[in-house]
Amino acid sequence: MTYRIAELKEYISREALQQRVAELGAQISRDYAGQDLVLVAVLKGSVVFLSDLMRYITVPHSVDFMATSSYGNSTESSGVVRIVKDLSMSITGRNVLIVEDIIDTGHTLHYLLRILNERGPSAIHVVTLLDKKERREVAIEVDYVGFEIPNAFVVGYGLDFNEYYRNLPAIFVPKEGFFQGETD
Ligand code: 5GP
């Protein structure tokens, strides 16, 4: 299998990503100074963002993971969300910061907030690298946004197409015809 890089257009460069993630890390570090913090990353898309972001957060914090299913292998949201992997630690009485790769319709985050709020955290906030605000179907509050983007399917920096392309260091938009092509 080879990546069809020629059919991708760079949308957010590696440098722009690093600069914005550093800014988010600095802002989060200021906001959580002197407080306990646990980062809850949503697998798999947010792992690349998390690994950069956590190195820019200077306050002590722990990290945990959850996995939800929403998209399957398609590029359209089904609106149906379920937990595939749960946290390994208790969040009761803790300050939780959910780390998301991208918020689209908002169903995933809405569901996560409901589930996690039932566990009695002292507070839950949200950071997302990308926000497709115009696509929102449920109202949710997002505290930190890396980039607001229009309604386009994007890959790279953790985001996949059929589980591939997560390792690309920048964010790309597939050009016309990409989705009709072979993936192997
Ligand atoms: P929501 O529940 O907000 O509609 O969808 C959130 C999830 O859908 C994200 O965590 C991500 O897995 C997936 N998703 C939404 N938009 C995109 C996109 O443009 N590219 C990729 N690769 N995944 C997306």
At 141-178, the pLDDT tens digits run: 999 999 999 999 999 999 999 999 999 999 999 998 89
Task: Give the residue among 73, 147, 135 at the shortest CA–CA distance from 109.
Answer: 135
State the distance from the centre of ligand 1 to the C-alpha of 162, rounded, in angstroms: 12
SS (H, E, C) 41-87: EEECCCHHHHHHHHHHCCCCCEEEEEEEECCCCCCCCCCCCEEEECC
Residue 60 confidence (pLDDT) above 70:
yes
Q: How confident is the model at residue 19 (pLDDT cuts 50, 70, 90)?
A: very high
Q: Which two tokens stand for residue 103?
A: 């918020």
The model's pTM is: 0.93
Please choose from 113, 159, 165 the residue to mutate so as to test ligand 1's pocket, defined by most ligand atoms within 8 A of CB: 159
Q: Which residues line ligand 1 (CB under 6 A)?
A: 45, 70-71, 77, 100-108, 153-155, 159-160
pLDDT (0 to 100) of residue 171? 98
CB 47 within 8 A of CB 158: yes
Residue 11 confidence (pLDDT) above 90:
yes
Between 52-66, 70-84, 146-160, 167-181, the lowest mean confidence (pLDDT) is in 70-84
36 is catalytic: no
pLDDT (0 to 100) of residue 97? 98
Q: Which of 52, 101, 104, 131 is catalytic?
A: 104
CA angle, corner 175, sides to 135 and 99, nearest 5?
45
Segment 30-39 shows an average pLDDT of 98
Half-sphere exposure of 50 (CA within 13 A, CB side): 24
pLDDT (0 to 100) of residue 1? 87
Q: Which two tokens stand for residue 143?
A: 């505290």
State the distance from the centre of ligand 1 to the C-alpha of 77, rounded, in angstroms: 7
Q: Which residue has the tokens 């898309």?
A: 45
Average pLDDT over all residues of the chain: 93
Between 18-27, 71-80, 114-123, the lowest mean confidence (pLDDT) is in 71-80
What's the one-letter identity of residue 55? R
DSSP calls for 110-130: HHHHHHHHTT--SEEEEEEEE
pLDDT above 90 covers a percentage of the chain that reads: 86
CB 168 within 8 A of CB 151: no
Domains assigned to the chain: 17-149 (3.40.50.2020)
The rounded distance, in Å, linking the Cα atoms of 18 and 63 is 20
pLDDT above 70 covers a percentage of the chain that reads: 92
